[in-house]
C-alpha cells in the first residue's frame, strides 16, 4: 500500500468519524428538546450522561488527526482539511455540552407547571439541528455553497432567540412570580443560540478547508 493510499484511507476514516460525531450530537439536541417538552426526567438524565460519549468521540478524532499529521506530513491542502477537522470537533463537543446544559435545567423545570406552552423553543431546536446537519454535510461533500448557506441561516436562530426572550420578559412583567422559570427558559434559548453559533463556526471551518480563507482572512 502506497503512502498516499494509506493517507486517503485515514482521511476516509476521519470523515466517517466526523459524520458519526455529528449524528451523536444531533441526537443529543433532539433528546434534550424532547425531554424538555415532555418533562421526561429519565431522558434528561440520559442526555446529561450522553455528553461523555461525545467527549470520547472528540478524543478519538483528535488522536487520528494528530497521527495523520505526525505520520503523513501532509501538504498544505491536506493540512487545511485535517486542521479544520480538529476545529470542527471542538465545536461539536461544545454543542454536546450545551445539550447537556439544557437537560440539567430540564431536571429542575420538569417538576413544575410551565408558565407557557413551548412553541418557539422546539422550533429553535429544529433549526439548530438543521444547521449542524448541513454544516457536516457541507464538509463531507466539500460543498462551499451549502457551508455559506449555513452561515447565513444563523440569523434565523438569532431572531427566534429575540422572539423567545421578548415573550418571557413580558411574562415576568405580567407576574413577578414567573421570573425564575422565565429566566431558566431564556437560558435554554441562549444555549440553543450558542448551538447555532457553533454550527456557524463549523461551516466557517468548512469554507477554510476548501479555500484557505477563514472569516474573510486568507490563512493558507
Q: Quote the crossing angle between the two packed helices 3-38 and 120-141, to the nearest 10°.
A: 170
Residue 151's nearest CA partner among 197, 189, 218, 194 is: 197
Mean pLDDT taken over the chain? 92
Q: Are residues 164 and 135 in contact, defined by beta-carbon separation less than 8 angstroms? A: no
pTM: 0.93
What secondary structure does DSSP assign to 167-204, as a single string? HHHHHHHH-GGGHHHHHHHHHHHHHHHHHHHHHHHHHH
Q: Each residue of 98-138: pLDDT tens digit?
A: 999 999 999 999 999 999 999 999 999 999 999 999 999 99
Q: How far apart (Å, rounded) are the C-alpha atoms in residues 196 and 88?
A: 13
Q: Are residues 97 and 28 in contact, defined by beta-carbon separation less than 8 angstroms? A: no
Q: Dihedral, CA atoms, 135, 138, 142, 148, nearest 10 degrees?
A: -80
Q: Each residue of 16-74: pLDDT tens digit?
A: 999 999 999 999 999 999 999 999 999 999 999 989 999 999 999 999 999 888 887 77
pLDDT at residue number 77? 76
CA 25-31-33 angle, to 5 degrees, is 105
pLDDT above 70 as % of the chain:
96
CATH match of 3-218 with 1.20.58.220: yes
Question: Is 218 a residue whose pLDDT tops 90?
Answer: no
Question: Is 1 a residue whose pLDDT tops 90?
Answer: no
Amino acid at each position: 500500500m502506497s503512502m498516499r493510499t494509506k493517507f486517503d484511507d485515514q482521511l476516509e476514516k476521519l470523515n466517517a468519524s466526523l459524520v458519526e460525531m455529528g449524528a451523536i450530537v444531533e441526537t443529543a439536541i433532539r433528546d434534550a428538546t424532547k425531554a424538555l417538552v415532555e418533562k421526561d426526567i429519565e431522558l434528561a438524565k440520559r442526555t446529561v450522561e450522553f455528553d461523555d460519549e461525545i467527549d470520547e468521540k472528540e478524543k478519538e478524532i483528535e488522536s487520528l488527526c494528530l497521527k495523520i499529521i505526525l505520520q503523513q506530513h501532509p501538504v498544505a491542502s491536506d493540512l487545511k482539511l485535517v486542521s479544520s477537522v480538529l476545529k470542527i470537533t471542538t465545536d461539536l463537543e461544545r454543542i454536546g455540552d450545551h445539550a447537556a446544559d439544557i437537560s440539567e435545567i430540564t431536571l429542575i423545570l420538569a417538576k413544575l407547571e410551565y408558565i407557557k406552552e413551548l412553541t418557539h423553543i422546539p422550533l429553535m431546536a429544529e433549526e439548530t439541528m438543521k444547521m449542524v446537519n448541513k454544516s457536516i454535510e457541507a464538509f463531507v461533500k466539500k460543498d462551499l455553497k451549502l457551508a455559506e448557506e449555513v452561515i447565513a441561516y444563523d440569523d434565523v436562530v438569532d431572531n427566534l432567540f429575540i422572539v423567545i426572550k421578548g415573550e418571557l420578559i413580558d411574562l415576568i412583567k405580567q407576574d413577578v412570580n414567573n421570573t425564575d422559570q422565565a429566566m431558566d427558559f431564556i437560558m435554554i434559548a441562549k444555549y440553543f443560540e450558542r448551538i447555532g453559533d457553533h454550527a456557524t463556526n463549523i461551516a466557517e471551518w468548512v469554507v477554510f478547508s476548501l479555500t484557505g480563507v477563514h472569516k474573510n482572512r486568507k490563512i493558507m
